[in-house]
Amino acid sequence: MADEKVLRIPAKLEGMDEVLDFVSSLVDAHGCTPQARSQLRMAMEELYVNIAHYAYPDGEGWAEIRGSVEDGVVTFTLIDGGTPFDPLAKPDPDILLSGEERRIGGLGIYMVKSMVDEVEYTYLDGCNRLTLKKQL
């Protein structure tokens, strides 16, 4: 098992930079391409911001990010103890619509799916868990 790094913070928007620094420092230590780093930061931004915005509608909560690299593949897991919610269940937006017809929003999760190799949601032991994998 590869060394796992863990970051546990209050699930607040202000923590986003800390999450993205955590992502960059883990992947940079494993010779990541600038493109893969940018895609991973973006995917983690979308998923973390979702937690900060929606996981705890009635108050404050926590978020935990676990990251590891094995055989050139990075795995990040985002965990929260908030409302059960599978963001991947939402239908993909229609990306062929014209600018005027486009809805403003709804692109975040679609971007995550297109920027990583695998993304999976599970609800386990009272926690939401989103796991993503990407070749560095």
Partner 1 sequence: MKLNTEKNSNEMTVKLSGELNTLTAPELSALLDKELGGVQKLTLDFAECDYVSSAGLRVLLATFKQLKASGGSMILSNVGENFMDVLSNTGLDAVFDMQ
Q: Where along the sequence are the contacts to partner 1 (CB under 8 A)?
A: 13, 16-17, 34-35, 38-39, 41-42, 45-46, 49, 95-100, 102, 104-105, 107-108, 110-111, 114-115
> What minimum distance in Å lies between the beta carbon of 38 and partner 1?
4
Instruction: Give the integer Cα–Cα distance in Å for 22 and 20.
Output: 5
Question: With the C-alpha atoms ordered 124, 79, 54, 106, is the resulting torsion angle positive or negative?
Answer: negative
> What minimum distance in Å lies between the beta carbon of 70 and partner 1?
25
> What minimum distance in Å lies between the beta carbon of 46 and partner 1?
6
20 vs 68, beta carbon nearer partner 1: 20
**Inter-axis angle of helices 108-115 and 34-50, to 10 degrees?**
140
Nearest to 78 by CA among 53, 58, 56, 50: 50
34 vs 126, beta carbon nearer partner 1: 34
100 vs 125, beta carbon nearer partner 1: 100
Instruction: Give the integer Cα–Cα distance in Å for 99 and 7.
Output: 39
